[in-house]
Amino acid sequence: NEQVSTIQIESSAAPLPCPVRSVQDSDQSMLIAIKSLVESLVGKNDTIAKRNDQIEQQNAQIFQQNCMIELENAALVKKIDAMDSIFCSINSQQFSAAKDYVATPSFTFEPVKTIKQLIELERKLNDESYRSELVAWLIFNVVGKNSQKRMSSCLDVLFSRELLINCTWTGMNRDKTKKAALREQRNILSLFKAIGTTPQQKVDDRRVTKFFIQKLKGAKERFLVYKKIEKNHQKHKDGITIIAADSSNIVEQNDTESVDDSESEVTFEVEILQ
């Protein structure tokens, strides 16, 4: 029997190492990247959620504001309707008064100058027909669109500036002297409420009181200013008259000189003919 011997052959090549650690590092880096991406997405999602909450809150606020605007618009519509009704009422009253005035075109009114005339006017206004005529007359003579200007214009056509110096709202002056109390002239005050009322604003007792207190407070100063302006205007007017008179004299003098010249020429011609 032949024996076969087994010979072990050792390989001279070294065994290849397995790259286990590099694979683990790569997996760990990938996990870190994925984790970072997930965290970023979660952060963005939270930001989007917060913005959505803010948008919802803003929408809720806008809805509330729209509701408030609708309520305000409804209130404005009611006020406009009320003003329209007041305007129609005022127009009808003024038209009626104006129609009465057209029926009596001879009605005239002179500004009140004395306290006696003021008391007499207050008494006359108890007569409804006289009051209607005066209201209609004021409608045609008062100017201004707002309440303040209309009442100021009414004051100018009803009262002289001299009278206002002798009037106060309460009837007492700073030096304790007694003057005419306009607050007691109820019929006259009602005229200012009627004339001062416009479609945009209704004049009440409080507004009339404030108006007269302001006007009467500076009545003396305004009177002095008015007198100064009137005096200067008269001086200016007189100056123009004097200049006009002087110029007419110059014209007459020139005419006389021209006549004298013509006469001398005629005389000279006669002498030559002779």
Q: How many CB atoms within 10 Å of residue 220?
A: 13
DSSP state string for 210-252: HHHHHHHHTHHHHHHHHHHHHHHHHHHHHHHHHHHHHHHHHHH
CB 180 within 8 A of CB 115: yes
Provide the pLDDT confidence category of residue 80 given band limits of 50, 70 and 90.
confident
CB 111 within 8 A of CB 155: no
What is the predicted pLDDT for the residue at 91? Answer: 55
Read off the pLDDT of residues 49-62 as tens digits, 9 standing for 90 and up. Answer: 889 989 999 999 99
Burial class from Cβ neighbours inside 10 Å (0-12, 13-18, 19+) for residue 93 reads: middle
CB 154 within 8 A of CB 140: no
Domain ranges of the chain: 27-103, 106-217
Please indicate, yes or no, whether the overall pTM of this predicted structure exceeds 0.75: no
Chain position carrying tokens 């007691």: 184
The rounded mean pLDDT for the chain is: 77
Question: Strand, helix or coil at 181?
Answer: strand
Q: What is the DSSP letter of 3?
A: P
Phi, psi of 5 (to 5 degrees): -95, 140
Query: How distant, in Å, are the alpha carbons of 32, 108, 193, 232, 245 from that of 236?
Result: 102, 32, 39, 6, 14
Read off the pLDDT of residues 108-160 as tens digits, 9 standing for 90 and up. Answer: 899 999 999 999 999 999 999 999 999 999 998 999 989 999 999 999 999 99
What is the predicted pLDDT for the residue at 228? Answer: 82
CB 191 within 8 A of CB 208: no
Looking at residue 142, its amino acid is: V
What is the predicted pLDDT for the residue at 89? Answer: 65
Read off the pLDDT of residues 255-269 as tens digits, 9 standing for 90 and up. Answer: 444 434 444 443 333
DSSP state string for 182-208: GGG-HHHHHHHHHHH--SS----HHHH
Read off the pLDDT of residues 179-200 as tens digits, 9 standing for 90 and up. Answer: 899 999 999 999 999 999 988 8
